[in-house]
Amino acid sequence: MNEIAIGVEALTEQQVLAVARHDARVRLSEEARKAIGASRDIIEALAGDPEPHYGISTGFGALATKQIAPADRVALQRSLIRSHAAGSGPEVEREVVRALMLLRLSTLATGRTGVRLETAETYAAMLNAGITPVVYEFGSLGCSGDLAPLAHCALAAMGEGTVRVGDEVLPAADALAAAGITPVVLREKEGLALTNGVDGMLGMLTLATHDLALLFRTADLAAAMSVEAQLGTDAVFAADLQALRPHPGQADSAANLRALLAGSAIMASHRTGDCTRVQDAYSLRCSPQVHGAGRDTLAHARLVRDRELASAVDNPVVTLDGRVESNGNFHGAPVGYVLDFLAVVAADLASIAERRTDRFLDKARNHGLPPFLADDPGVDSGYMIAQYTQAAQVSELKRLAVPASVDSIPSSAMQEDHVSMGWSAARKLRRAVDALTQVLAIEILTAARALDLRSPLTPAPATAAARDALREQVAGPGPDRYLAPDIAATVELVRSGRLVAAAEAVCGPLN
């Protein structure tokens, strides 16, 4: 996607990714331009009304009862943005800010917010010029919108504050001038329209659902490699057994495991009367149940995401029949809940992966492999500390799984007395997705080593393809080799999807 038309309809996950991560250009559709113009006419008419209208001729929040004279309304909007641009802490990632700006632009394009066309066009121009406002970690309670993050974006559109262009931090005024963009002077209602939305948390949810979909396939690949290299059985993944508990995610995961393990000489080697094992450990046998429950949770999160992408969130909002009405649609609870659910899933997926990994390292449980998969046990500690690194990430993931959305804290002189903390849930989930990626990478690295040690028995064609793709970047253990670069290289292979793609080239698309 080189260019995306922003219209009155919902954006898709792929469109958000194209703009946030791949710098696709945006333009407002003709339909969006007409909708923006029509709703602005309504706001202009109300601006001249002697009756007060919230956000048009009044103050904001707990100051909504104060009427503002026409001569002061430009100053009111400017002051709103300046006062709300009060974030602090570490800088938020570029892809998150671009997703946030795109989603706010998408809401502006619905014609439900009452902004002027030039204001929406300024956001589009900034995205196309690669101008990314500097947004900070703290400043959103997930209610009345992601206020401080959105305000920092609006501040940059006004030619104030700081932005990033490439790796350089610049005054917004300089960056806009260099790109030929005229700073916007906000009019009635526009300050509210640029800050009342859940765009930050929704942007992070959209990025996370995409990343987790790949990580679920990666988790099935890692589990297949572990089951195979630990001389487990694939009989428990049979379709008729899985159908006894008809969860769709479980069925998909089990189908993946069957496809990945098909044709394994290692598996065939112990399907004889000489094998005395009756059942595999839960971490092997129950992989579809755990991975599947996570998949079903992801499916629910995607449903919420798509509903939010189709939403027009603002307060007040311009209705289709021309009313301007206050509402509570800016509350982030629907998004905050699923962000927290996904953090729980990430923690549990990592937990079961770490348990599968640990079994490789214990001579009493690894079925004939050397202790810690070492070249020379005792002289060489093998993968002992790689599992420590995994365990540290799993422990961190458990802390990140504590829900943010139950931690409401009142603000704005008790006007905003129940908030969602959805932004905080989103920030936690980003860290959780990264930690899960690292945990799965270490399992795959360890399982690939174990598959090598099962030689001359050969793994399944699909798992062998993934292992071989790994070996193109990671040579394997040796007396003079550090594990840290191997882990880092494997993490990048997992993140890029190359290992899953290598397996899918053999066994077909995974669910």
| Catalytic annotation, residues | 54
Phi/psi for 318 (5° steps) reads -90, 115
> How far is Cα 347 from Cα 155, in angstroms, rounded to an integer?
37
- Residues 398-437 as b/e (b if ≥16 CB within 10 A, e otherwise) read eebbebbbeebeebbeeebeebbbbbbbbbbbbebbebbb
Task: Return the closest-CA partner of residue 464 out of 231, 228, 215.
Answer: 228
Q: What are 4's strand-pairing partners?
A: 26
User: What amino acid is encoded at 183 in this protein?
Assistant: P
Contacts of 368 (CB under 8 A, 6+ apart): none
Q: Which of 301, 219, 435, 248 is nearest to 13 (CA)?
A: 301
β-bridge pairing 162-165 and 317-318: unpaired
What angle separates helix 30-47 from helix 94-109, to the nearest 10 degrees?
Answer: 70
If we measure between CA atoms, which residue out of 128, 103, 110 comes closest to residue 32?
110
What is the gyration radius of the CA atoms in the chain, in angstroms? 26
Contact 155/133 with Cβ under 8 angstroms?
A: yes
Distance CA 422, CA 312 (A): 18
Q: Is the dihedral of CA 229, 234, 235, 241 positive or negative?
A: positive
φ, ψ at 299 (rounded to 5°): -60, -40
Instruction: For residue 89, give the 3-state DSSP assignment.
Output: strand
Q: Is there a contact between 161 and 29 (Cβ–Cβ < 8 Å)?
A: no
H or E stretch covering 27: strand 25-28
Counting every residue, how long is the chain? 511
Distance CA 383, CA 395 (A): 19
Contact 123, 108 (CB under 8 A): yes
Containing 131, the helix (H) or strand (E) segment is strand 131-133
Distance separating alpha carbons of residues 240 and 226, to the nearest angstrom:
23
